Structure 1
Amino acid sequence: MTLRRKTFLYSILLTIIIGALFLGYILIMLPDLYVADTQEQFIKDIKKVHLTYIEEGNYKNITPLNYASTISIDFYKNEDRVTINSKAINYDVNIQTEEQRQMLANIRSYFNGLVNNDKKEFNYKIQDIFFALTDSFTHWTPESKQVFLNQFQSTGYIDTTNDEFPSEEINTDFFQIDDKTIIISSTARIGDEHYVSNIGFTNNTDRYIMTIAPQMQPSTRQILPVTIRSLPMVAAVLILVVLIGSLFFAQNIVRPIVNLSNQTEALKYKNIESDQSVDVTGTMEIEELAENLNRLYQTQQSQFRQLKQMGERQRIFLQSSSHQLKTPLAAALMLTDGMIHKIGKYKDTETYLLELKQQLRKMETLISTILSTNHLTETDEPVLVDIAELAQRLLEEREALFEQRQMEWQIEGAASRIVESTILTYILENLIDNAINHGKPQSTLTLRISDQIIQLENSNASIDEELLPYVFEPFVTGEDGGHGMGLYLVRYYATLIQADVNIENLDNSVLVTITFQN
């Protein structure tokens, strides 16, 4: 199955899962959340209206949710006066009759008693205030009632016999705003309908201020049909959005991956030494993948070149070895034939048997050196090596040779590193032996050791400038003879432990520098 097809199927599955969760959320959670949010908005509205009215004293800059029914009443403490304000009305009522004054006194008494009472008692007191208002108004004489109504320039009645709101079905919440202001939210349920009365009450220095905002709260039963009717459109939009997102994903993610796959497939048929890189395009992750592939190809090319160079060196080494073996082998055969046939001076077999043995020894040494090139790398593992301690041991083992050559040695510095111990030992042994073999009397071999560099300086010595560029080639020898393999193997083994070796002539000495690459 292609990546595009998989992406399409995953998108469909994702659409089904997300759609089921979203639609379930709409059907189960959203109506209740909407009702709760509406109630919260009612509380915020009464708080804003009430506090703004206290600050400004009018509804000029107030726009309540319930535009027509929200009203604020000021009951003055030291005046026979009541003010009524809303968005539509602004009444200032002056109390004229004794009955009205008594009613206002009762209201003040209730309000005054509310200050130190608990919330439950406060709820009952609020109800008592409304009942007192209605009771006082109901029992007025027709003349008093008409006078009161005339002050409002309106007519109407208050029915105190309606018992549609039994107290056990009223749920009241209290919200303390500050030490003077409290918000009361009472919800009454009749059947499936919910009626909310939000009241803000403030005990100011000169008056009691009450803001009343009745609301009808929507119920879940009312919201659910609307929600169900909107489900087809919601599902269609959801599917469309997910499919568009899937298409966008396929264009921006799948296509770069397919392009990257095609490019890597084409690289299989290219020469490894040719340019092997992929285009770095796509998202950040695709770009990172492409860059990692390019780095991988670069590493492979570098390793291939190293292997190619190593193979070329081994080829040259074997050719040179074969050539070097021919000379002692031809000499040995010539001596053997001469002694077998008793030709001329070769009749003296005792003398020429010794020379034959020397030629065989040369071949043995050369063959042992060739075989050792693989032996060290097969058996050695990296360990922590104290280089100064290793050098000290190797120099002390050759103390007799130093005395014989009338030479001295010294070590400067110290360092430890993780390296193949056998290979490093072989390198130092060859360099020390070379210094002894080519050293002059009264000269000094100095080893300087640091974290990244090992230097061997042999004083009172030099290398022929014409020979210097070729000292690391196999079978290159100086005036002192030798088989010409020592420095070649030193450089060969140095590459195995990620080190470079360099030889140079100084004013009156030869300096060998081993530099570790890491």
Structure 2
Amino acid sequence: MNLSKKTFLYSAIITTIIVALMIGYFVLMLPSLYVAYMEDINHNSIKQVQERFLKDGSYKEISSRNPTATFTLKIPNAENKLLLFNGFGNIDITIDDPILKEAINKIRYYADNYEEIENIDTSEEEYFKNVFNYIKELVKIEDLPISIKASSNDNYLNFEELSYDVDVVNDNTIIFQQDVTDKINYYTNYVAFSNYKGDIVVTLLPVMTPQLNEIRPIILQSLPMITATAILIILIATIFFSRKIINPIEKLANHATFIKENSKLEIAPIEIEGKDEIAKLGETLNELYEELNKNFKELEEKNKFLKEQNIRQEVFLRASSHQLKTPIAASLLLLESMINEVGKYKNTKEYLPKVKEQLLSIKDIVDSILNLNEGTNGVNIDRVSVDEVIKSALEYHDINIKEKEISIDINLKDVTIDTDRNLIYKVVDNLISNAVNYTKCGEDIKIILNKDSLSIINYGGRISNDLLPHIFEPFVSSSSENRGHGLGLYIVAFYCKLLGLKIEINNIRNAVEAKLYLN
């Protein structure tokens, strides 16, 4: 199963779970949350009505959950009045009856001393019942031109109290909440009582209590549309975002496959939009491919260098083997002639030194080969004073220079470079040795050192124009009379390549110049 199908399957499972949770929430939790919310609204409504009335003393700026049935009764502190307020108007009732005045005074007393209400005796309860009956008698109107007879339905007035709660808002205000039912409907009566600046303020707010069975059918009717819409939106969003995720991953996979099939690793970096984890992965892969490409090129360069080294060593060994045949054959011939006492070779004292010369020639060739192989063991970079190296090499060749009565003209500046001390010495030593060997007796050698280059000029010498392009090849010599075996400049070129230096050999006026560039 590919990533797209997996993503779609996981999205379908998640969608099913989410829709199931939504249905459970709408059916089981939302109705009860709605009922609790409406109870809070109604409770805050009676609280706001009471607070607003205490502040303004009227209903001009007051709105409530049930404006037609909400009213406030105010009993002034020092007046025998009852003030009734509603959103439709006000009623001012003046009390002249002494019994009612006394009842109002008792209400004021208990309002100021509400803690005594819990300990009220039966006589006080009886008193207020009598006052209530007295008021009922007062409101009977006689001598009307019509006759009215009223009766009540006992079943309809059969209310059952469900709960009762008291909320102390502050030191002056208390809210009473009573939940009742008539077996059909549910009601909540809120009564706010305040003793504000000596005035007694009572506000009544009756409301219908919302029920769960009233809300749940509406939700159930809406569930099919809600479910279908939710599934559609979730699936569309999932498909969209899954493609946003999968497309960059497919792009990375195709890019990796393309690089796998491309042996040169010369690939343009992949571009992934955004700054998320996939974009970071793309950046990391680009860095990886760049590093691989760099390493690949380095390996190619090393392989090329090793291949060149192998060719050089093969040529060098073959040439060395060929060159060694001459002194070995000469030595054997001399020795065999002396052993057999053939002609002039009976004089061993004269010809043994010649054998020695041939053996020394063989030794020089072998030493050169060994020195060349040592150069492949590695380069140790250090701070090297080039002028000191030149002085040391000149001291080493001092005997040969004096024997040939060569004049040395030195012009050296203090020059220090980062290089391998042993290898740079061998380069300088071979250049000086080559200059001494190919300078005739009594001629001059000039050595010039500055910060950019070292020049060694041997006067009186010249290299054939045909030989000059091959001067750095092994066993190339410009003079058959000289003892050199043509390895000196080859070794110089070899070490210069290891050190990253440039060497040039050129004919100048009546001289040959070897120039070593130091940077």
- In the superposition, the TM-score normalised over structure 2's length comes to 0.65
C-alpha RMSD of matched pairs (Å): 4.9
Q: Equivalent of 1:349, from 341, 351, 355?
A: 355
Which position in structure 1 is the counterpart of 2:369?
Answer: 363
| Structure 2 contact 259–267 (Cα < 8 Å) conserved | no
Is 2:250 the partner of 1:244? no
Matches within 5 A, 1:283-432: 284-342=276-334, 348-370=354-376, 372-373=377-378, 430-431=420-421
CA 1:15–1:307 in 2, change beyond 3 Å: closer, same or farther? Answer: same
Pairwise mapping of residues 10-409 of structure 1 onto structure 2 (< 5 A)?
10-114=10-114, 136-140=131-135, 142=137, 144-146=138-140, 164-165=159-160, 169-176=162-169, 178-188=170-180, 194-270=186-262, 272=264, 274-281=266-273, 284-342=276-334, 348-370=354-376, 372-373=377-378
Answer whether contact 2:372 2:491 (CA < 8 A) is retained.
Answer: no
Cα shift at 1:433: 7.0
**Residue 55 (structure 1) shift:** 1.7
Distance 2:370 2:8 in 1: 72
**1:231 aligns to what SS in structure 2?**
helix
Q: 1:435 to 1:373 in 2, by over 3 A?
A: closer
> SS in structure 2 opposite 1:140?
helix
Whether the 8 Å CA contact 2:375–2:423 is kept in 1: the answer is no
How far the C-alpha of 1:219 sits from its partner, in A, is: 2.4
**CA distance in 1 between partners of 2:261 and 2:282 (Å):** 19
Counterparts in 2 of 1:243 and 1:462: CA distance versus 1, 3 Å:
closer
Q: Is the contact between residue 188 and residue 206 of structure 2 (CA under 8 Å) also seen in structure 1?
A: yes
Kept in 1, the 8 Å contact 2:502–2:518? The answer is yes
Give the secondary-structure state (helix, strand or coil) at the position aligned to 1:184.
Answer: strand
Return 5+ residue gaps in structure 2 as ranges.
Answer: 338-344, 346-350, 397-416, 430-447, 457-471, 475-485, 504-515
User: CA, structure 1 residues 330+244, in 2 after alignment: closer, same or farther (shift >3 Å)?
Assistant: same
After TM superposition, give the deviation of residue 13 of structure 1 in Å: 0.3
3-state SS, counterpart of residue 72 of structure 2: strand
Distance 1:360 1:141, change over 3 A: closer
Cα distance per residue 1:96-127 (max 9 Å; x no partner): 2122212222221221222x57xxx67x99xx
Deviation by residue 1:178-227 (Cα, 9 ceiling, x = unmatched): 33233333334666864322222222114121222122222223333333
CA contact (8 A) 2:76 2:200 kept: yes
1:170 partner letter:
S
Alpha-carbon distance change, 99 to 295 in structure 1, aligned in 2, over 3 angstroms: same
* Equivalent residue letter for 1:351: E
1:8 partner letter: F
Inter-CA distance 188–227: structure 2 relative to 1 (3 Å threshold)? same
Q: Secondary structure at the match of 2:420?
A: helix
- Decide whether the 8 Å contact of 2:158 with 2:182 is kept in 1: no
Amino acid at match of 1:174: D
CA distance in 1, matches of 2:52, 2:283: 64
Structure 1 residues 133, 260: closer, same or farther in 2, change over 3 A?
farther
Q: Quote how far apart the aligned CAs of 1:483 are.
A: 5.1
Return the alpha-carbon distance in structure 2 between the equivalents of residues 480 and 74 of structure 1: 125
Residues in 2 aligned to 1:159 and 1:76: alpha-carbon distance in whole angstroms: 37
Tell me if the contact between 1:194 and 1:217 (Cα under 8 Å) persists in the aligned partners. yes
Judge conservation of contact 2:159–2:181 (CA < 8 Å) in 1. Answer: no
Would the aligned equivalents of 1:346 and 1:352 in 2 still touch at CA under 8 Å?
no
Q: CA deviation at 1:39?
A: 1.1
Deviations along 1:214-272, one digit per CA (max 9) or x if unpaired, are 22222223333333333222221221121121222234333343344334434444453
1:71-118 deviation line (CA, Å, top 9, x unaligned):
11111111111111122342111112122212222221221222x57x
Cα displacement (A) at 1:461:
6.4
1:52–1:62 CA contact under 8 A, matched in 2: yes
Q: 1:9-29 CA distances to partner (integer Å, 9 max, x unpaired)?
A: 111101111112222222222
Q: Which amino acid aligns with 1:349?
A: V
Q: CA deviation at 1:358?
A: 2.6
Change (3 A) 1:131 1:242: farther
Q: What are structure 1's unaligned runs of at least 5 residues?
A: 377-386, 407-426, 440-458, 468-472, 492-500, 504-509, 514-518
Distance 1:213 1:302 in 2: 85
Secondary structure of the residue that 1:139 maps to in structure 2? helix
| Gap change, CA 1:367 and 1:7, over 3 Å in 2 | same
User: Kindly tell me: are residues 317 and 175 of structure 1, through their superposed partners in 2, closer, same or farther at Cα, counting changes over 3 Å?
Assistant: farther
* Secondary structure of 2:78's aligned partner: coil
1:44 alignment partner AA: N
* Superposition deviation, residue 165 in structure 1: 4.3
Q: How many pairs were matched up?
A: 417
Measure how far apart 1:7 and its partner are.
Answer: 1.9
SS at match of 1:47: helix
Q: Which amino acid is the alignment partner of residue 113 of structure 1?
A: N
Change (3 A) 1:40 1:363: same
CA contact under 8 A between 2:248 and 2:272: conserved in structure 1?
no
Question: In structure 2, what residue type is equivalent to 1:261?
Answer: A
Contact 1:198 1:213 in 2 (8 A): yes
